[in-house]
């Protein structure tokens, strides 16, 4: 029971601390729209992000069950940790909070007649999100460890929080940087555990794969 609660909490905090880039992209895209379209762009943009992450994470969870790929996933997750560390140092959450606040202010950003449609804004958000989903997908798939229900619930809850309180969350991360550092610690722990299993696990570890192949 405690392990399930820990894993679920890890998924939520990982998704939130890794959402800075996503919030920045959505905020900037929404700020370029006419004020009456911005709230829809933010909400729909978060929905798009949620769907993409759930689909990609389910696929990644299945792939991590293939012998050898768990080790590769662990190394990629260490890369995610390094990326998150650089984002924390670069104050990405602060920039995201400013972008979200700008997009929600009807007197700021672009205030003229609509120069692009909501669909065009969502398309740019989707394209950016596809290219930026790897960090979230790897992190939550690794934590869920094959539990699809936990994966969907954890991601869904985190994205709901972002959809309805993105600006508040970005401000909290800016005001309390220790939350982001806690998320980084969680990801390093998950990556280390994943690396160990990627080498020594009796089912999906690289050593088991080598023994089964008659190499080890």
Tokens matching residue 167: 């600006």
Rounded Cα–Cα distance for residues 36 and 63 (Å): 42
Tokens matching residue 105: 């202010």
In a domain, 81, yes or no: no
User: Taking 70 as the threshold, does the pLDDT of residue 126 lie above it?
Assistant: yes
User: Taking 80 as the threshold, does the pLDDT of residue 184 lie above it?
Assistant: yes
Rounded Cα–Cα distance for residues 83 and 114 (Å): 36
On whether the CB atoms of residues 64 and 142 are closer than 8 A, the answer is: yes
Confidence of residue 52 (pLDDT cuts 50, 70, 90): confident
In a domain, 80, yes or no: no
Rounded Cα–Cα distance for residues 140 and 54 (Å): 9
In a domain, 63, yes or no: yes
- pTM for the whole thing? 0.75
Determine the distance from the C-alpha atom of residue 38 to the mean position of all C-alpha atoms in its chain, rounded to a whole number.
22
Any idea what DSSP says for residue 109? Answer: S
In a domain, 210, yes or no: no
Determine the distance from the C-alpha atom of residue 122 to the mean position of all C-alpha atoms in its chain, rounded to a whole number.
18
Tokens matching residue 211: 């023994």
Confidence of residue 14 (pLDDT cuts 50, 70, 90): confident
Please measure the distance between the N-terminal and C-terminal CA atoms of the chain and give it in whole angstroms.
37
> Residue 70 in 3-state DSSP?
helix
In a domain, 37, yes or no: yes
Number of domains in the chain: 1
pLDDT score at 48: 79
In a domain, 181, yes or no: no
| Average pLDDT of span 183-210 | 79
pLDDT score at 215: 61
In percent, how much of the chain has pLDDT > 70?
79
pLDDT score at 84: 83
pLDDT score at 163: 66
Confidence of residue 6 (pLDDT cuts 50, 70, 90): confident
In a domain, 127, yes or no: yes
Backbone torsions φ then ψ of 201, nearest 5 degrees: -60, 135
pLDDT score at 9: 80
In a domain, 113, yes or no: yes
Q: What mean pLDDT, rounded, does the chain reach?
A: 75
Helices (H), the chain: 2-17, 20-31, 35-63, 69-89, 92-104, 118-132, 134-144, 148-175, 178-200, 206-212
Domain that holds residue 113: 2-67+91-175
Closest CA to 30 of 43, 17, 20: 43
Cα angle 129, 43, 133 (rounded to 5 degrees) comes to 15
| Average pLDDT of span 140-153 | 76
């Amino acid at each position: 029971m405690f392990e399930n609660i820990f894993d679920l909490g890890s998924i939520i905090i990982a998704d939130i601390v890794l959402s800075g880039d996503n919030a920045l992209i959505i905020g900037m895209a929404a700020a370029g729209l006419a004020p009456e379209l911005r709230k829809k762009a933010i909400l729909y943009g978060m929905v798009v992000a949620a769907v993409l992450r759930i689909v990609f994470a389910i696929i990644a969870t299945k792939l991590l069950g293939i012998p050898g790929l768990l080790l590769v996933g662990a190394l990629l997750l260490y890369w995610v940790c390094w990326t998150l560390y650089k984002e924390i140092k670069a104050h990405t959450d602060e920039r995201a909070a400013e972008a979200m606040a700008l997009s929600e202010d009807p007197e700021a950003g672009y205030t003229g007649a609509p120069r692009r449609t909501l669909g065009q804004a969502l398309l740019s958000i989707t394209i950016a999100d596809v290219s930026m989903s790897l960090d979230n997908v790897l992190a939550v798939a690794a934590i869920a460890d094959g539990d699809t229900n936990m994966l969907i619930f954890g991601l869904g809850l985190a994205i709901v929080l972002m959809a309805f309180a993105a600006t508040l969350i970005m401000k909290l991360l800016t005001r309390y940087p220790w939350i982001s550092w806690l998320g980084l610690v969680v990801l390093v722990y998950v990556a280390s555990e994943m690396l160990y299993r990627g080498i020594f696990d009796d089912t999906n570890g690289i050593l088991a794969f080598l023994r089964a192949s008659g190499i080890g």
